[in-house]
Amino acid sequence: MSIFLTFYLFVISPFFLIHPSSAQFTATLYRRDSVLSPLSETDQLAVRYPPRDRARLSSLARSYDRPDVRAKVAFSDYALLMNISLGTPPSTVTGVVDTGSNLIWTQCANCKNCFKQSLPRFDPAISSTYRKVPYDSTCPYPYNKDRTDPNKCSYKIQYLDGSYSEGVISLDTITMNSRNGELVALPDSYFGCGEDNGGVFGGTESGVIGLGLGPESLTSQLGATKFSYCVPVINKHGFINFGENALVSGTGVVTIPMAVKWGHYYITLEGFTIDGERVNFTSYGNGDVEKVYNMIIDSGAHLTYLPSDNYEIFENAVKKHISAEPLNPSAVSGYTLCYSSLNFSPPTITANFDGGDVRLKSYNTFVYKDRTQCLAFFPRHNSPEGIYGTTAQTNFLVGYDQTGRTVSFKRMACT
């Protein structure tokens, strides 16, 4: 209770607030283990990003194909989480940090369908600063679709892992506390008040925090064009920086070009070096646009997915450098390449990006499960673009510079 009161006083006293235009701060990240969610063992892929807008879909349908959801991915349920507060008095929202989408949303108290969460749901009725966005010019694109109710601007967001949320675009104060005790308050910020929500959620989190380039993302609403996060190992705390202190610098930094398309951050993966053997990808997808930037870097995805032809090249090379015999794939459901842990010695793998090489550790490339070691990479069928997930990013400080259009990697113990 005392914590709550202190917090409340901070929020109503402008002297303790950092003005958003100078916002520059660091918050704690948490990486949760797969909770006892029945969905964690089902056919879900932990790839959180929304399907494109319908108008764009028609011209770019190929790149929007769903990944092969029949592949069983047991380790699908890890997530990078961050706390923000919503409303007056502030109510905590623990959100999945997602560079692959824009919207911030949380389950609201009046939800019709909700997943279980340990935190109380946000109740718009008790926030004195809450407002629904009406269906008019203030209802931002692409949420201005629903003409059925002129009193609300509704949204519907779906992620590739099957998670979804539907509700009302709303405005309220978002408050975040920095690790150094400072608070940042963003009055009248857009977020989705979720009324029908479901999918791969483990109970700890109560929504999603989009860090994409769209105007409704947390980064855009903060006015921060740089952010960086340090991905901790499972069940530990890392951190996320916004603003100028998000700059990733010093020795050992690898900075590579980044492109932004349809709100996603893309980088170019040319191939891998496995125990000194360089293997290059032979194709960069089908369309012109997809030719170079072939990987979406995503904090909301756990594993890494490569376009299937590139995956094959990679898997064959990895196999060549492991002397043990792979286990029968049916023995370890969900994974494509597994070995018994007993006599397993992982090869050294470096990701060769356009612009720089990032040396990975074995925990970036293999996951351990039931006395087996499985490759943490998957083929993504019918798509020219892959997804670079958080297993490959563990114990890296990963920096995004939206104006400089770069992504930087720096090896660091994040916990």
Ligand X SMILES: *[C@@H]1O[C@H](CO)[C@@H](O)[C@H](O)[C@H]1NC(C)=O
Could you tell me the smallest distance in angstroms from the CB atom of residue 395 to ligand X?
18
Query: CA-CA distance, 208 to 97, in Å (whole number)?
Result: 6
Could you tell me the smallest distance in angstroms from the CB atom of residue 94 to ligand X?
5
Q: Is there a catalytic annotation at residue 370? A: no
When the beta carbons of 3 and 125 are compared against ligand X, the nearer one is 3
Could you tell me the smallest distance in angstroms from the CB atom of residue 211 to ligand X?
16
Query: CA-CA distance, 196 to 204, in Å (whole number)?
Result: 18
Could you tell me the smallest distance in angstroms from the CB atom of residue 92 to ligand X?
5
Could you tell me the smallest distance in angstroms from the CB atom of residue 243 to ligand X?
19
Residues that bind ligand X (CB under 6 A): 28, 30, 83, 92, 94, 119, 270-271, 278, 280
Query: CA-CA distance, 236 to 234, in Å (whole number)?
Result: 6
Write the DSSP symbol of residue 391.
H
Which tokens go with 245?
């202190």
When the beta carbons of 28 and 415 are compared against ligand X, the nearer one is 28
- Helix (H) or strand (E) run with residue 6 in it: helix 2-12
Which tokens go with 242?
């916004």
Among 77, 161, 172, 298, the active-site one is 298
When the beta carbons of 30 and 227 are compared against ligand X, the nearer one is 30
Query: CA-CA distance, 241 to 228, in Å (whole number)?
Result: 5
Among 77, 98, 161, 172, the active-site one is 98
When the beta carbons of 57 and 126 are compared against ligand X, the nearer one is 126
When the beta carbons of 172 and 205 are compared against ligand X, the nearer one is 205
Q: 397: number of CA atoms within 13 Å, CB side?
A: 25
Distances from the Cα of 220 to the Cαs of 137, 242, 402, in angstroms? Answer: 19, 11, 10
Q: In the structure, how many helices (H) and strands (E) does the chain have?
A: 6, 28
CB distance 178 to 9 below 8 Å: no
Q: Is there a catalytic annotation at residue 98? A: yes
Could you tell me how far CA 386 lies from the centroid of its own chain? 14
When the beta carbons of 206 and 372 are compared against ligand X, the nearer one is 206
Which tokens go with 18?
């950092």
Could you tell me the smallest distance in angstroms from the CB atom of residue 58 to ligand X?
34
Name 111's Cβ contacts closer than 8 Å, sequence gap at least 6.
Answer: 121, 167, 194, 195, 196, 197
Active site amino acids: 98, 298
